[in-house]
């Protein structure tokens, strides 16, 4: 079977009420593009009915590929497991809660003409879909991160991104690393840009991430990235003979 051109990678944890409308929205957005694509959803050992619904959806929809962790591993692991399972030349990561609008997928694909990775930024529209506390905590976290690792990303907490497969070929993932993928891509020499995106209110369910995740748990991860930036080995071969 020919590999798809596009892979949509989605981590899932306790999103049972969002999964059916999510797949409907994806089909509505991507089917008109007339490209081969797949949807890879990794269930992070949900405690609700998410896995049951995913199995029902996958049985009826060959576009959907699903996998489930044996135990809860976190968003970075679920995202990375999906990326490793993806077969497309272009990978788009997004959340399952429909705050990332699948209708914007064509915009991401269009902007990949100008970069290796396209990151969504909700800065202009955050107040429309998030609480004031969430907006402020994210603004503080992004400000601190930019001052330390200088990745020039305004919304690292937004995991709605499109990138070419080669961007992840040499990446080593770590817990919390999904927030820093743009910085890791830049370290590898890839071009990263941002585009403004909408920020829908959560369709259903509760957010799994709060101030603790944005400010405190990511602090050590940020220092790890800064260490890698300083110690990163980068070279170019000028010439070869009998190689």
Q: What is the pLDDT of residues 102-149, one digit of tens each?
A: 999 999 999 999 999 999 998 765 555 455 555 555 665 656 666 666
- CA 160 to chain CA centroid, Å, is 5
109 in a domain, yes or no? Answer: yes
How many Cβ atoms from other residues are within 10 Å of residue 196's Cβ? 15
239 in a domain, yes or no? Answer: no
Give, to the nearest 10 degrees, the angle between helix 50-60 and helix 19-30.
40
User: How far is it, in rounded angstroms, from Cα 37 to Cα 5?
Assistant: 6
Give the burial class of 193: count Cβ atoms within 10 A of its Cβ; 0-12 exposed, 13-18 middle, 19 or more buried: middle
Sheet holding 117-121, edge to edge: 64-68, 37-43, 6-12, 90-93, 161-164, 117-121, 192-196
243 in a domain, yes or no? Answer: no
Helices vs. strands in the chain: H and E counts, helices first: 9, 7
221 in a domain, yes or no? Answer: yes
Domains in the chain: how many in total?
Answer: 1
40 in a domain, yes or no? Answer: yes
Q: Given this model, what pLDDT does residue 243 score?
A: 86
Mean pLDDT of 210-220: 59
Q: Given this model, what pLDDT does residue 143 score?
A: 63
User: How far is it, in rounded angstroms, from Cα 243 to Cα 239?
Assistant: 10
| More confident: 138 or 71 | 71
126 in a domain, yes or no? Answer: yes
What is the tens place of the pLDDT at every residue in 153-206?
Answer: 788 778 999 999 999 999 888 888 888 899 889 989 999 999 999 978 755 655
- Provide the CATH number for the domain around residue 128: 3.90.550.10
| pLDDT surpassing 70 at residue 12 | yes
1 in a domain, yes or no? Answer: no
User: How far is it, in rounded angstroms, from Cα 159 to Cα 153?
Assistant: 12
**What is the pLDDT of the chain when averaged over all its residues?**
85
Q: Given this model, what pLDDT does residue 17 score?
A: 96
- Domain region containing 205: 6-231
241 in a domain, yes or no? Answer: no
Distances (CA, A) of 80 to 21, 92, 235: 24, 12, 27
């Amino acid at each position: 079977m020919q590999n798809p051109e596009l892979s949509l990678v989605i981590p899932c944890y306790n999103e049972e009420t969002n999964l059916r409308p999510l797949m409907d929205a994806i089909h509505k957005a991507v089917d008109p593009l007339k490209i081969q694509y797949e949807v890879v959803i990794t269930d992070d050992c949900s405690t609700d009915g998410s896995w049951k619904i995913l199995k029902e959806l996958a049985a009826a929809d060959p576009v959907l590929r699903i996998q489930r962790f044996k135990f809860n591993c976190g968003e970075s692991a679920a995202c990375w497991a999906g990326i490793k399972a993806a077969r497309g030349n272009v990978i788009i990561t997004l959340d399952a809660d429909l705050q990332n609008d699948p209708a914007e997928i064509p915009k991401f694909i269009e902007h990949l003409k100008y970069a290796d990775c396209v990151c969504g930024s909700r800065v202009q529209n955050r107040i429309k879909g998030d609480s004031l506390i969430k907006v402020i905590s994210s603004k503080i976290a992004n400000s601190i991160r930019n001052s330390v690792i200088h990745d020039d990303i305004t919304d690292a907490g937004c995991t709605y991104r499109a990138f070419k497969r080669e961007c992840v070929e040499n990446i080593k993932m770590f817990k919390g690393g999904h927030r820093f993928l743009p910085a890791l891509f830049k370290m590898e020499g890839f071009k990263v840009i941002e585009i403004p995106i909408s920020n829908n209110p959560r369709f259903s369910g509760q957010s799994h991430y709060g101030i603790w995740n944005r400010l405190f748990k990511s602090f050590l991860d940020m220092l790890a990235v800064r260490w890698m930036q300083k110690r990163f080995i980068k070279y170019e071969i000028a010439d070869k003979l009998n190689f």
